[in-house]
Amino acid sequence: MSRETTQLTEQQLSDLVDRFYDRIQVHPTLGPVFNAAVDDWPAHKQLLTSFWSSVALGTRSYRGNPMAQHRGHDIHAGHFDEWLALWRETADEVLDAEHAALVHEYAKRIGRSLKYGLGLQEGVRSLELPIVGG
Ligand code: HEM
């Protein structure tokens, strides 16, 4: 049927990554975090294209440890909402609705686990609050 024509491609993911990180670099709050950490943007985009190809296409071309790479930067919980909003906006422009929804969902899940791993998850925080009246 039309399965082949709707296959998500590595080229589409590369276009998405390219546009997304161009925007990241000039974003008022995300830009400073990334620009302090990334020197070689073409290499970073290539790495992220392999990451997304591994996630969405199962290419297994990415080797790395995203959790470890997010430690030691000045990342706050609010950055995740901004990152996801920009990702959604860019995916909606670059991909058809079906594939955009797919990469929205992947990013939401990965973002949630990164946030959790970094100790920025709201639910975890609230458990650390002293018990009122206890
Ligand atoms: C929400 C979903 C997110 C995903 C899927 C994601 C994914 C990734 C991946 C795969 C890498 C490359 C790791 C490696 O080097 O092997 C990376 C690097 C990085 N991410 Fe994220 N990220 C997310 C959110 C964020 C947020 C909210 C921030 C904060 C502004 C952030 C800041 C960074 C920085 C600064 C690097 C470069 C680290 C370095 O090279 O030292 N990321 N991210």
Report the nearest atom of ligand 1 relative to the CA of 66.
13
Q: Which ligand 1 atom sits nearest the alpha carbon of residue 84?
A: 1
Question: Could you give the C-alpha distances from 34 to 5, 24, 27, 31, 62, in angstroms and in order?
Answer: 35, 7, 10, 5, 20
Q: Is the CB of 86 under 6 A from ligand 1?
A: no
For residue 99, give the CATH number of its domain.
Answer: 1.10.490.10
Domain that holds residue 77: 9-122
Q: Which residue has the tokens 């100790």?
A: 119
In a domain, residue 118? The reply is: yes
23-78 confidence digits (pLDDT tens)? 999 999 999 999 999 999 999 999 999 999 999 999 999 999 999 999 999 999 99
Is residue 3 scored above 50 in pLDDT?
Answer: no
Does the CB atom of residue 37 touch ligand 1 within 6 A? yes
Nearest atom in ligand 1 to 29's CA: 30
* pLDDT per position as a tens digit, 73-131: 999 999 999 999 999 999 999 999 999 999 999 999 999 999 999 999 776 554 555 55
- Whether residue 117 contacts residue 75, with contact meaning beta carbons closer than 8 Å, is answered with no
pLDDT of residue 129: 54
Count of domains for the chain:
1
Domain assignment present for residue 128? The answer is: no
